[in-house]
Amino acid sequence: MAAYPQLETGALSQFPVRKTRRMRTVINTAADGSAVKLGDAAAEITAWDLTYTELTDGEMAALEQFFDESEGTLRGFTFLDPMGNLLAWSGKLDEDAWAREAFLTVAGGG
């Protein structure tokens, strides 16, 4: 599966980024007037508004090529949420994934 291209800096986007989530609620109204409301997870839509400025020719070409290969919104692709926490173990700084240099200590309760 294709992946959304990164910029030459390794970033997925530039600021400002706007993320919008839309959800649908299904309401079933009974004959006695009572109603049951349920979230419809299959109808959830997340949309990102990404604005780019001062892209290099290579970055622009990569985005245009990606759009052409994806045929707009026709084909699926992997998109990592630029507003999400993409760092493994970011909540546990004592994990081995984090390199601890000399003179660096991890203390809890801060």
Same domain, yes or no: 34 and 55: no
Indicate if the pLDDT at residue 45 is higher than 90.
Answer: no
- Counted domains in the chain: 2
Indicate if the pLDDT at residue 110 is higher than 60.
Answer: no
* Mean pLDDT confidence for 56-78: 88
Same domain, yes or no: 71 and 107: yes
User: The whole model's pTM is what?
Assistant: 0.58
* Mean pLDDT confidence for 28-38: 92
Q: Which of 25-29, 46-50, 98-102 has the lowest mean pLDDT?
A: 98-102
Strands (E), the chain: 2-3, 17-29, 35-50, 77-78
Residue span of the structural domain in which 90 resides:
1-16+51-110
